[in-house]
Amino acid sequence: MWNATNALRADEGLDELEAGQLAEELEFATPQEVLAWALDRWGGNAAISTSFQAEGMALLDMAWRIDPKVRVFTVDTGRLPQETYEVIETVRARYGMTIEVFFPDAAQVETMVRHHGPDLFRKSVQARLRCCNVRKVEPIRRALSGLDAWITGLRRDQWASRANIRKVEIDHDHGGLAKVSPLADWTAPEVEDYNRDHDVPRHPLYDRGYTSIGCIPCTRATAAGEDPRAGRWWWETNAPKECGIHCPVETGGFEHEMDAIVHLGAVGPAAAARER
Amino acid sequence: MSPSAPDTADITWDLVRKRNFVERLKHEKGGLAVIADLPAMIATGYEAVPEEDFVRLQWHGLYHDKPKLGYFMLRVKLPGGVLTPQKLRAIGDISARYGRGHGELTTRQNVQLHWLAMQELPEVLAALAAAGLTTAGACGDNVRNITGCPLSGLAEDELFDVRGVVAEAAEFFLAHREYSDLPRKHKITIAACPHQCNAPEIHCIALLGVLRDGRPGFAVKVGGGLSTWPRLADDLGVWVPREAALPVLRAIVDVWREDLRYRLSRTRARLKFMVHDVGAADFRSRVEARLGRRLDDLEAGAAPAPPAVEFDHVGLHRQRQAGLWWSGFPVFLGLMDADAMRGVADLAESCGGEIRLTRRQNFILAGIPEERVDDVVRGAAALGFPLAAHPLRGASIACTGDPFCNFTVAETKGKLQEIVEHLERAFGDAVAGLRLNLDGCPHACAHHWIGDIGLQGTTLRERGPAGERLHGYDLFLRGGLGRGAAIGRPVLRRVPGTEVHRVIESLVRAWLAGRAEDEPIQAFFTRHADDALLAMAQSAAVSASIPSLVDSGIDSGIAGAAPERG
């Protein structure tokens, strides 16, 4: 039975009215100001989520300068490139940080691989979404379950449908914790400049033509002039025009595609196409 | 800490385009212009079309349905909610042929269709154009559908007919391309309805009819809006004669769209932020400077009095024109499929009548000759729109939600149905005046901030047995429009979807038991502290006596009285 104690457990977090107000007040704050505010408000109940790409590294560096004890988590999907582990080691040495690494649930991976094979993501969009869900999204959910706020490297110009994300919002896809995106209005060159100026460790795969770095079987280098989005899941046809693990309600996102393609599949456009 | 925007003098278009991705996108190719590329997009195939062009298609009322695989929601603009039988039939035909029969009425007097395939969009748009309909400017950074009282020209108590002003403004803002490159969406409402049925409090600009010495004109409100930063509109304190309405609307939109401060960030771009920043008095001065003349003051006491509570035109009433009647029919959940659209069109045509849409997702049949009234009411009931339905069905609204909308995080229309059916069984006529507003996400298409009880979808911290997401709802109380207009507060958080109907029942029961005589639910919630409301929400295992929801039928007979004329 629902009761107010459970429902209000996280109300030291934000409600919708306060989140809207804060987003308005912080809209023209710098990333460091937003970070400082978030770390001051939530302290150890906030954590940076990073996959050690440029945005996450910039955030990590900024936050470390504000509070060296800042919490940072990442997901080891089990299919990461060796270079990512090298970056983790570099970060550990350079910043003296404990990176909280979350792994997929072993039983879920075992079941999935037993039934569908290790490379199921090549077989269909549904299968790939399942793989993402087990290896990446579920561990993130576990990481978030203990937090009041998570801090992401989302930028508005990464994807056309992300243009409206707010620097502070309630993440209704994950139980209503706060989601903070200090880099929301930065451009990619601003992130690069920051990282260069502060000598922030750089993922080695960028120098080999990668524009987006995730699991190694699902990521590749792109040629100059090629759409950077071609570096992910390039073999897929009929895949949704949306990507990644960040799914603020403003953009739709992974959870929504999962709901539609995997859970509601019977009524989705795939079914519509079949009816025709 | 609240750093403010850079000084206006320091903001250049280059800075705007650096900071704001959509401004860059619009600069590269305007939203309306994308339509010329549609044949090429189709020839290239969905896979190869960049996401940016799908954003541009919003300018033509097209949004990806979920998942984003090349199927679209389409929003048809209907200024003032005015339709003809021919137009509604055309929409119904398109729905049947291209859109799997789906259709819904919206809170801004639009009609939406779903699951239109990209390759068929040219045919769909051509069919709409042939019927005199457009989707241009229905989404994107445009003057959206201009809403108004659906009874304009028909109601006995309307101050004057505003249809000309609505049509003129709609035409003007669509025809002039600079108004298709606004900082953000822009919502205008125009009415001379004494009940203010058009929700002037929550619009960017509202023109409210005021007669001065018998001369038609408008009071003006600016800066309202909901979404994630709800704000009630301010009075501008002016009176504008009817013939000056369009120049004043233009001047208001111009001072906003030309101020680059409101282009730096899309999350702080709507007119409400500017009115908030500069204040109503200063905003008025800017509008006057843009116009090059002073506006007339609206004398104290001359402003139109807001209604006691939010109002919607339902039921059967005498029309201004002798011998004719109009009837507002409740549309449960705002759903009207292709067959229903064509049926309503036939019904209206059979009596020489016309069709209007209300902002609570209901429709009005007007121009019904007195001797045909009974036929028409029977005909509408046969189409699934019984006039005698419980009033909750017409007064409660939910946004589009699953399975169509990419933004929603919880079930909307289906959940509203469950809640309404539960309350009908539990309380019958006692909840006849209640308004439920249910949204699936913070965008607030169904205005959860100002419902008697507002619901916004969220997810629970806990997971289901198979690890699935569990839907929940935040409950917003104390909001409303009219005399006590106020933004609601999210008093109850993360109520599980499986229990929300019972929690609402508890709140309603507490109100019915504890209210002062005729005390509206908003006032009751307002005079109780959060803790008291939480206690009420949890009081008693209220539902033991409520029969299962599964067997609750549509015709529960609760409101069973025959429609009254008057």
pLDDT in tens, B232-291: 999 999 999 999 999 999 999 999 999 999 999 999 999 999 999 999 999 999 999 999
- Section B389-399 average pLDDT: 97
Given a contact cutoff of 8 angstroms between Cβ atoms, the answer to whether A101 and A89 are in contact is no
Structural domain boundaries in chain B: 8-130, 163-297, 315-386, 395-545
Cα Rg, chain B, nearest whole Å: 23
Q: Please give the share of chain A, as a percent, with pLDDT higher than 90.
A: 59
Please judge whether A264 and B402 are an interchain contact, meaning their C-beta atoms are less than 8 angstroms apart: yes
Confidence tier at B556 by pLDDT (50, 70, 90): very low
Give tens-digit pLDDT for A263-275. Answer: 655 334 444 443 3
Is the predicted pLDDT of residue B65 greater than 50, yes or no?
yes
Instruction: Report the pLDDT value the prediction gives residue B5, as an integer from 0 to 100.
Output: 76
Q: For the ranges A191-200, A223-232, B31-40, B100-109, which has the lowest average pLDDT?
A: A223-232
Identify which of A211, A121, A236, A254 has the alpha carbon closest to the alpha carbon of residue B46: A236
Instruction: Report the pLDDT value the prediction gives residue B550, as an integer from 0 to 100.
Output: 30
Nearest CA in chain B to A34: B1
Q: Considering CB atoms only, which of B2, B55, B469 is closest to A255?
A: B469
Identify which of B303, B319, B407 has the alpha carbon closest to the alpha carbon of residue B368: B319
C-alpha angle B528-B530-B532 in degrees, rounded to nearest 5: 60
- Section B494-523 average pLDDT: 95
CA distances from A203 to A74, A83, A94, A210 (A): 15, 7, 14, 10
Residues of B (499-528) whose Cβ lies below 8 Å from A: 499, 503
Is the predicted pLDDT of residue A60 greater than 90, yes or no?
yes
Does residue B474 belong to the interface with chain A, where contact is any CB pair within 8 Å?
A: yes
Given a contact cutoff of 8 angstroms between Cβ atoms, the answer to whether B210 and B304 are in contact is yes
Q: How many CB atoms are closer than 10 A to CB B292?
A: 7
Q: What's the complex ipTM?
A: 0.89
CA atoms within 13 Å, Cβ hemisphere of B283: 27
Instruction: Report the pLDDT value the prediction gives residue A241, as an integer from 0 to 100.
Output: 62
Identify which of B208, B166, B157, B194 has the alpha carbon closest to the alpha carbon of residue B78: B166
Confidence tier at B50 by pLDDT (50, 70, 90): confident
User: Which residues, 6 or more positions from B437, have their beta carbon under 8 angstroms from its beta carbon?
Assistant: B396, B397, B398, B446, B447, B448, B449, B450, B451, B452, B453, B454, B455
Given a contact cutoff of 8 angstroms between Cβ atoms, the answer to whether B484 and B306 are in contact is no
Angle at which helices B271-278 and B245-257 pack, to 10 degrees?
Answer: 80
Instruction: Report the pLDDT value the prediction gives residue A244, as an integer from 0 to 100.
Output: 43
CA distances from B163 to B81, B153, B188, B385 (A): 10, 7, 14, 27
Q: Considering the domain boundaries, does residue A132 fall inside one?
A: yes
A258 residue type, one letter = M
Please judge whether A238 and B47 are an interchain contact, meaning their C-beta atoms are less than 8 angstroms apart: yes
Does residue B15 belong to the interface with chain A, where contact is any CB pair within 8 Å?
A: no
Domain encompassing residue A201: 11-266
Nearest CA in chain A to B463: A175
Give tens-digit pLDDT for A209-220. Answer: 998 888 999 989
Please judge whether B494 and A175 are an interchain contact, meaning their C-beta atoms are less than 8 angstroms apart: yes
Given a contact cutoff of 8 angstroms between Cβ atoms, the answer to whether A99 and A73 are in contact is yes
Q: How many CB atoms are closer than 10 A to CB A224?
A: 5
Taking every pair of C-alpha atoms in chain B, what is the biggest distance, in angstroms? Answer: 69
CATH code of the domain containing A257: 3.40.50.620
CATH number of B395-545: 3.30.413.10
Please judge whether A145 and B65 are an interchain contact, meaning their C-beta atoms are less than 8 angstroms apart: no
Please name the fold of domain B163-297. Sulfite Reductase Hemoprotein; domain 1 (3.30.413)
Q: Considering CB atoms only, which of A15, A161, A238 is closest to B493?
A: A15
Instruction: Report the pLDDT value the prediction gives residue A272, as an integer from 0 to 100.
Output: 43
Please judge whether B458 and A21 are an interchain contact, meaning their C-beta atoms are less than 8 angstroms apart: no
- Cα separation of B507 and A34, whole Å? 38
Number of domains in chain A: 1
Place of tokens 């919002």: A169
Phi and psi torsions of B236, nearest 5°: -85, -15
CA distances from B90 to A29, B115, B144, B150 (A): 50, 17, 21, 20
Confidence tier at B2 by pLDDT (50, 70, 90): low
Q: Considering CB atoms only, which of B3, B70, B406 is closest to A33?
A: B3
Which residues from chain B sit within 8 angstroms of residue A7, using beta carbons?
492-495
Please judge whether B267 and A164 are an interchain contact, meaning their C-beta atoms are less than 8 angstroms apart: yes
Instruction: Report the pLDDT value the prediction gives residue A264, as an integer from 0 to 100.
Output: 58
- Cα separation of B214 and B212, whole Å? 5
Give tens-digit pLDDT for A196-205. Answer: 999 999 999 9
User: Which residues, 6 or more positions from A125, have their beta carbon under 8 angstroms from its beta carbon?
Assistant: A236, A238, A239, A240, A261
Which residues from chain A sit within 8 angstroms of residue B64, using beta carbons?
241
- Tokens for A261, please give them: 């393609």
Identify which of B494, B409, B262 has the alpha carbon closest to the alpha carbon of residue B252: B262
Give tens-digit pLDDT for B13-28. Answer: 999 999 999 999 999 9
Identify which of B102, B95, B134, B99 has the alpha carbon closest to the alpha carbon of residue B117: B99
Identify which of B409, B406, B400 has the alpha carbon closest to the alpha carbon of residue B456: B409
The residue length of chain B stands at 566
Q: To which H or E segment does residue B476 belong? A: strand B469-477
Please name the fold of domain B315-386. Sulfite Reductase Hemoprotein; domain 2 (3.90.480)
Q: Considering the domain boundaries, does residue A6 fall inside one?
A: no
Place of tokens 């100002």: B450
Distance from the Cα of A141 to chain B's closest Cα (Å) equals 10
Residues of B (242-271) whose Cβ lies below 8 Å from A: 264-268
- Tokens for A171, please give them: 């993440």
User: Which residues, 6 or more positions from B115, have their beta carbon under 8 angstroms from its beta carbon?
Assistant: A269, A272, B65, B71, B72, B99, B100, B102, B404
Phi and psi torsions of A101, nearest 5°: -100, 125
Is the predicted pLDDT of residue A173 greater than 90, yes or no?
no
- Cα separation of B387 and B559, whole Å? 10
Give tens-digit pLDDT for A212-258. Answer: 888 999 989 988 888 777 788 888 877 776 554 343 333 447 777 77
Does residue B8 belong to the interface with chain A, where contact is any CB pair within 8 Å?
A: no
Whether domain B8-130 has CATH 3.90.480.20: the reply is yes
- CA dihedral (B224, B168, B86, B346) in degrees, to 10, reads 60
Please judge whether B228 and A16 are an interchain contact, meaning their C-beta atoms are less than 8 angstroms apart: yes
Identify which of B88, B307, B279, B108 has the alpha carbon closest to the alpha carbon of residue B194: B307
Q: Do B8-130 and B395-545 share a fold?
A: no
Q: Considering CB atoms only, which of B20, B21, B441 is closest to A172?
A: B441
- Tokens for B78, please give them: 């209907």
C-alpha angle B328-B329-B332 in degrees, rounded to nearest 5: 140
Is the predicted pLDDT of residue A159 greater than 80, yes or no?
no
Q: Considering CB atoms only, which of A23, A185, A256 is closest to B406?
A: A256
Which residues from chain B sit within 8 angstroms of residue A26, using beta carbons?
1-3
Instruction: Report the pLDDT value the prediction gives residue B484, as an integer from 0 to 100.
Output: 94
- Section B188-199 average pLDDT: 98
User: Which residues, 6 or more positions from B235, have their beta carbon under 8 angstroms from its beta carbon?
Assistant: B219, B220, B221, B280, B298, B303
- Tokens for B141, please give them: 């950074």
Query: Mutate which of B448, B493, B504 to disrupt the A interface (most A C-beta within 10 Å)?
Result: B493
Average pLDDT value for chain A: 85
CA atoms within 13 Å, Cβ hemisphere of A251: 28
Does residue B44 belong to the interface with chain A, where contact is any CB pair within 8 Å?
A: no
Sheet with B469-477, side-by-side order of all strands: B397-398, B436-439, B453-463, B469-477, B489-496
Instruction: Report the pLDDT value the prediction gives residue B439, as an integer from 0 to 100.
Output: 98
Q: Considering CB atoms only, which of B50, B266, B403 is closest to A264?
A: B403
Identify which of B52, B123, B132 has the alpha carbon closest to the alpha carbon of residue B94: B123
Instruction: Report the pLDDT value the prediction gives residue B294, as an integer from 0 to 100.
Output: 98
Does residue B55 belong to the interface with chain A, where contact is any CB pair within 8 Å?
A: yes
Please judge whether B1 and A37 are an interchain contact, meaning their C-beta atoms are less than 8 angstroms apart: yes
- Tokens for A218, please give them: 């699902």
Q: Considering CB atoms only, which of B70, B227, B461 is closest to A145?
A: B461
Q: Considering the domain boundaries, does residue A239 fall inside one?
A: yes
Average pLDDT value for chain B: 92
Distance from the Cα of A266 to chain B's closest Cα (Å) equals 11
Angle at which helices A16-26 and A31-42 pack, to 10 degrees?
Answer: 150
CA atoms within 13 Å, Cβ hemisphere of B39: 3
Active-site residue list of A: 243
Does residue B400 belong to the interface with chain A, where contact is any CB pair within 8 Å?
A: no
- Cα separation of A258 and A133, whole Å? 8
CA distances from B376 to B83, B368, B548 (A): 17, 8, 34
Confidence tier at B552 by pLDDT (50, 70, 90): very low
Which residues from chain A sit within 8 angstroms of residue B55, using beta carbons?
160-161, 163
Query: Mutate which of A1, A2, A34, A173 to disrupt the B interface (most B C-beta within 10 Å)?
Result: A2
Instruction: Report the pLDDT value the prediction gives residue B47, as an integer from 0 to 100.
Output: 79
Give tens-digit pLDDT for A90-115. Answer: 999 999 999 999 999 999 999 999 99
Query: Mutate which of B494, B499, B530 to disrupt the A interface (most A C-beta within 10 Å)?
Result: B494
Please judge whether A257 and B503 are an interchain contact, meaning their C-beta atoms are less than 8 angstroms apart: no
Which residues from chain A sit within 8 angstroms of residue B19, using beta carbons?
185
Instruction: Report the pLDDT value the prediction gives residue A246, as an integer from 0 to 100.
Output: 41
Nearest CA in chain A to B401: A256
Please provide the DSSP assignment of chain A as one string: ---HHHHTTTTTS--HHHHHHHHHHHTTS-HHHHHHHHHHHHGGGEEEE--SSHHHHHHHHHHHHH-TT--EEEE--S---HHHHHHHHHHHHHH---EEEE---HHHHHHHHHHH-TTGGGT-HHHHHHHHIIIIIHHHHHHHHT-SEEE----GGGSGGGTT--SEEEEGGGTTEEEE-TTTT--HHHHHHHHHHTT----GGGGGT-SS---GGGB----TTS-GGGGBSTT-SS--S--SS---GGG--HHHHIIIIIISGGGSHHHHHHH-
Does residue B12 belong to the interface with chain A, where contact is any CB pair within 8 Å?
A: no
Instruction: Report the pLDDT value the prediction gives residue A209, as an integer from 0 to 100.
Output: 92
Q: Considering the domain boundaries, does residue A152 fall inside one?
A: yes
